[in-house]
Chain A
């Protein structure tokens, strides 16, 4: 029965991960107990502090602004935004692309890094997935708000209507409906499946009967059976395998919204890879913006170590360079292709009405992030936080430049116009930032923000010694 297993010394997970000169993924000395308590007690034991309450109320204030703006939008229509002809896609589409891009890093961390066996991801995947979920919720709002008659959004789905009308499947906008709704569903399911064993931990640890009952219901009666774990691991891996092409497809489809149109500056084949890279770029920036305060205020420095922050910085540097290549190639093709309109588009980007925003984008997205090459700065947490904010702003500007600059100066000078966002545009943008923050505030108080059971597997004591040969 017993298999013959070579008796040579096998490195423990921790030894493998602790390469010389690098910070460990989990600080030495952590045990099953300490990991469980550190993560679960941040939710169950820690009293609600003034900092959390203040932050949550401030985010809640912006949620109120969002609700007011959306109510007024339903009442008055899209005329309250700055959009007009020719710029019919304003803040709503910019914000949609920006938010959905931010979500992509969560899936990258949870799915792609899982497949690549990058187990350092175990301490950041949970809240990165939550980030994905909330970012996709923010993103999903915008196309609907932008519809004009948002209450008819269900017309986008193929359903047997009494009008006998069906969607037009050759349109990237219909593809978007499928891509984004699938992405939202799979992200939610992936996140929940990952949570189930930890919810069982919360169920056992919770003291209050009501809390115990709620976690108990959500944990579905999980009891850690070996047969259950086997099927669980199998589906988790398969979901990761499905989510990996899914996440690449989502931003590709988003880029098709532009690339399939013939507007100068949009109609280019570089868009899909360059959009995906940009999405991961801004997503990792958001991961750092969230991780840096969370690890500090909830004392998770032993679990989210400097190794994670530095790795994220390296991913940002790499994807930032791909984005820079995208900008370069856009320019090259614009000049080389010999199309009058493309050349004019570039000239307009550099010197036109919105030129300051273009140059701000180059500074934020390409120039400043090059500082990440310097190890000393990359290891400075305060600096990483600032540079992440800089990248988030830069990526928002990128979408502004792509959408507004191209639309405001299209083929016919007689149809040119200048787009100016109104206060309602800003209200909806800042409102979704508030909504996102409010969701994150609730999440870190309600759910374990780090995957407890996956952290246990990183500990040296989780290793099964090779004693099969009897």
Chain B
């Protein structure tokens, strides 16, 4: 029975009533050697991602790259347009009148940096994803309200349905559910 269930199972889900319980449980699971797991909460909890060992995101790097691309691109475009492709003599100013080019350069830096960050954040998060196994557990809908969840995936090398269940029981959750695929 256990062998038959295992492949169909995404993982085990423990439910908690408070953010503190979630952080403590996540830390305990991490210390016990679980790695393929995730903590779910109705609002951002910095301590939860720390407990998962997830300290760094690549989002700032993506924003930097987007901003540099936007800024350099905008400046380059203006230079090419006003100095090479279509030079215009405006009040006798030099063709390469760089102070005037700063404003669009700045605006495009912000635009591309911001858009890269937002699209990058969603892409790294794997969103949009209309369905995910955790939604198969009915109680999980409370994650957008007032409940906190810890899910250990069956794909984790240390995962064993009986042992992990016992381990989760020791974390004092309000309930434990199996997460089907």
Contacts and interface: CB of A to CB of B under 8 A. Distances in A.
A222 interface: yes
Contacts of B77: 158
Interface stretch (B3-11, B124-132, B158-166, B167-175): B124-132
A259 B101 CA distance: 17
B44 interface: yes
A447 to B, nearest CB: 15
Given A32-B42, A32-B145, A224-B42, A174 B104 contact: yes
A465 B22 CA distance: 11
A201 B44 contact: no
A216 B131 CA distance: 10
Given A170-B93, A229-B41, A235-B117, A223 B101 contact: no
Interface size class of B (residues with CB under 8 A): 35 or more
Where chain B touches its partner, the secondary structure class is: helix
Contacts of A256: 103
Given A189-B118, A200-B144, A220-B128, A226 B48 contact: yes
A193 interface: yes
B38 interface: yes
Most buried by B among A31, A238, A467: A238
21 contacts: A169-B104, A170-B93, A170-B97, A171-B90, A185-B114, A200-B144, A201-B145, A224-B41, A224-B144, A225-B39, A227-B54, A229-B45, A230-B54, A231-B121, A234-B60, A238-B63, A242-B110, A246-B110, A457-B43, A463-B20, A464-B47
Interface of B: 18-20, 23-24, 26-27, 30-31, 38-49, 52, 54, 57, 59-60, 63, 67, 74, 77-78, 81-82, 85-86, 88, 90, 93, 97, 100-101, 103-104, 106-108, 110-111, 113-115, 117-118, 120-122, 124-125, 127-132, 134-135, 140-146
Interface of A: 1-2, 31-33, 36, 158, 164-172, 174-175, 178-179, 182, 185-186, 189-190, 193, 197, 200-201, 203-205, 216-217, 220-235, 238-239, 242-243, 245-246, 249, 253, 256, 453-454, 456-457, 461-465, 467-468
